[in-house]
Amino acid sequence: MNKIVTILGARPQFVKAAVLSRIINKHKDVEEVIVHTGQHYDANMSDIFFEEMDIPKPKYNLAINGMGHGAMTGQMLIEIEGVLTKENPDLVVVYGDTNSTLAGALAAKKMNIKIVHIEAGLRSYNMKMPEEINRILTDRISDLLLCPTETAIENLQKEGYKNLPAKMVKCGDIMKDAVEYYSKISEEKSSIISHLSLIPNEFVLATIHRQENTDDLEKLKEIFEGLALISKEKQVVLPLHPRTKAILAAHQLTHDLKIIDPVGYFDMLTLLKKCNLVVTDSGGLQKEAFFNKKHCIIAREETEWVELVTNGFAKIVGSNKEKMFKTFNDFQNSEADFEMDLFGENVGEKIYEEIIKLL
């Protein structure tokens, strides 16, 4: 039986990988070994996380975190190489753009093991983003580039990938499958709306965590002033990242927002489903807003998910508070065709079929 090793390092990657794992288990003709690098330490990722979400538990947990980018990536490379030597897989699967993604791809390449990159071809064209560096380097050494959108394919073609031996396939966004699967479960598991005494469609869901915002005090102030303006119209619920929380506390920045601790995936899906719209600097949440038929205000200077902007589902406002507030008001009076097929259907099955062809 063929064997694949899947390298994961953050909760969103586990959620996406669960889609493919279920399909692999259904077909029963490939053995999957899951490796968790430990990159994003998450107290919520206990045994109950894997049980409730029907996610296979990792065979290996490398517990590598709390380091700088170079040290973390280097340590992961060493540890993953040891795992690959022991498991001797036919190919390695990596997701997205974390340090774990790059380390997994590098370890595999050095050992002449085939690499599948899921979410290939995404570009922000901002080389100050660690994620941009990770995704570019991972794409370059991968054998199978599974792209979520036509834009991702075009990005790779512009970079000359048609002249390289790697195979490019537009398969859609696997997160769409995950949201559809877990959305039904979240309705039974989450009570966060009643717990927080929220009124459906009368609150805005916000997340702010990117270093480009949290490490720039003027940007951070402007973003929170924009959220404060919105909060005069609708309550703003902000699951606050620990890094952002520490910076706000250090500089005594306070606003009339409903700040809560980070929430689990079921609670986040419920908040997405019941909110009025989303304000975020997260790449993944932009798509999840779309999947839940919500407009999105992007607190960044660029986005990898340009289809959301060009089709009017999202708007980039950077850290401009006036632009943020105006966009909020504009979205209150606008309608959009959220049934538009931007990210494919049955994505997990398509990905599985492409992987089988590579074995």
pLDDT class of 266 with cuts at 50, 70, 90: very high
Q: Which residues are catalytic?
A: 209
User: Both 233 and 168 in a single domain?
Assistant: no
User: Both 95 and 124 in a single domain?
Assistant: yes
Mean pLDDT of 37-47: 75
pLDDT of residue 91: 98
Residue 261 falls inside a structural domain? yes
Residues 74-116: tens digit of each pLDDT = 999 999 999 999 999 999 999 999 999 999 999 999 999 999 9
Give the chain as a 3 state SS string.
CEEEEEEECCHHHHHHHHHHHHHHHHHCCEEEEEEECCCCCCCCCCHHHHHHCCCCCCCEECCCCCCCHHHHHHHHHHHHHHHHHHHCCCEEEEECCCHHHHHHHHHHHHCCCEEEEECCCCCCCCCCCHHHHHHHHHHHHCCEEEECCHHHHHHHHHCCHHHCCCEEEECCCHHHHHHHHHHHHHHHHCCHHHHCCCCCCCEEEEECCCHHHHCCHHHHHHHHHHHHHHHCCCEEEEECCHHHHHHHHHCCCCCCCEEECCCCHHHHHHHHHHCCEEEECCHHHHHHHHHCCCCEEECCCCCCCHHHHHCCCEEECCCCHHHHHHHHHHHHCCCCCCCCCCCCCCHHHHHHHHHHHHC
Environment class of 328 (CB within 10 Å of its CB; exposed 0-12, middle 13-18, buried 19+): buried
- What domain range includes position 45? 2-173+344-358
Q: Which of 50-54, 121-125, 333-337 has the highest mean pLDDT?
A: 121-125
Q: What is the mean pLDDT of the chain?
A: 94
User: Both 120 and 213 in a single domain?
Assistant: no
Residues 307-320: tens digit of each pLDDT = 999 999 999 999 99
Residues 153-173: tens digit of each pLDDT = 999 999 999 999 999 999 999
Residue 252 falls inside a structural domain? yes
pLDDT of residue 251: 83
pLDDT class of 134 with cuts at 50, 70, 90: very high
Specify the amino acid at residue 68.
Answer: G
User: Both 152 and 235 in a single domain?
Assistant: no
Beta sheet of 314-316, edge-to-edge order: 258-260, 235-239, 203-207, 277-280, 296-298, 314-316
User: Both 244 and 221 in a single domain?
Assistant: yes
Domain with residue 243: its CATH number is: 3.40.50.2000
pLDDT higher than threshold 80 for residue 45: no
User: Both 71 and 8 in a single domain?
Assistant: yes
Residue 178 falls inside a structural domain? no
User: Both 275 and 304 in a single domain?
Assistant: yes
In angstroms, the CA 344 to CA 351 distance is: 12
Residue 114 falls inside a structural domain? yes
Residue 137 falls inside a structural domain? yes
pLDDT higher than threshold 70 for residue 43: no
Nearest 5 degrees, angle CA 135-CA 183-CA 29?
Answer: 65
User: Both 238 and 163 in a single domain?
Assistant: no
User: Both 8 and 92 in a single domain?
Assistant: yes
Nearest one of 319, 316, 266, 269 to 294, comparing CA atoms: 269
User: Both 326 and 349 in a single domain?
Assistant: no
Residue 183 falls inside a structural domain? no
User: Both 350 and 267 in a single domain?
Assistant: no
Residue 94 falls inside a structural domain? yes
Number of domains in the chain: 2
User: Both 19 and 111 in a single domain?
Assistant: yes
- pTM (two decimals): 0.94
pLDDT higher than threshold 80 for residue 178: yes
